[in-house]
Structure 1
């Protein structure tokens, strides 16, 4: 089997999570500068088999698209063009940043460690991926 890679797309930083090859466990991989995201994905896909991209879908409380969806659409177009053989699924990402922050508190990270926005993005990507795995 191949891995599933999740993306928590952001204006500045993008969190990335990945499954194991059996697609059982979601783990944070890294956070990359969004401007370097496609280059990172090309490099990663060249080294590891990826069968699916899971991309967070920001929504409002009334289930309509969030304002940040406007930024994600052009990225999705480039992603599909660059990797036509890898399908893309969208997963509702409401509350993932809050849940990531709470996860950091629950795991005992000190206050200055919880200010690490890159870590929040990586944990958010992991939560998005775990959400997908739970519904699979």
Structure 2
């Protein structure tokens, strides 16, 4: 089996998470600056067998595309052209940042560590990936 890579795409930073080869465990990888995102993906794909890339889909409470969707959609189109052999999946990312922050609190991180926005993005990508795995395994 190949890995699944998850992306929490933001205007400044992009959080990444990936599964193990058996697609059982979702683990945070890193957060990179948005300008380094494609280079990171290219490098990751040369070192790992990836069958799918999961990207957070920004929606508002009424299930409509949120304000940040206008930044994410061009990125998704670019990914599909750049990596046409890799399946792209979308997962609702509503509340992942809040869930990531709560995860940091629950794990006992001090207030200073919880201000690390890069860590929030990485945890958000992990939550997106975990959500995808749960949806996939429920069928």
TM-score, scaled to structure 1: 0.99
Report how far residue 77 of structure 1 moved.
1.2
Q: Report the Cα offset of residue 9 of structure 1.
A: 0.1
CA distance in 2, matches of 1:23, 1:111: 33
What is aligned with 1:119? 119
Query: Do residues 97 (structure 1) and 84 (structure 2) align?
Result: no
1:103 Cα offset (Å): 0.2
The Cα offsets for residues 83-133 of structure 1, whole Å up to 9 and x where unpaired, read as: 000010000000000000000000000000000000000000000000000
The residue aligned with 2:59 is 59
Q: Unmatched 5+ residue regions in structure 1?
A: none
Gaps of 5+ in 2: none
SS of residue in 1 equivalent to 2:77: helix
RMSD: 0.4
Moved over 4 A (4+): none
TM-score by length of 2: 0.97
Give CA-to-partner distance per residue, 1:38-74, whole Å, 9 cap, x none.
0110011011000000000010000000011110111
Following the alignment from structure 1 to structure 2, what is the Cα–Cα distance between the partners of residues 72 and 61?
A: 18
Partner of residue 46, structure 2: 46
Question: What is residue 32 of structure 2 aligned with on the other side?
Answer: 32
Q: Distance in 1 between matches of 2:74 and 2:93?
A: 18
Equivalent residues, number: 136
Equivalents in 2 of 1:71, 1:113: separation in Å? Answer: 28
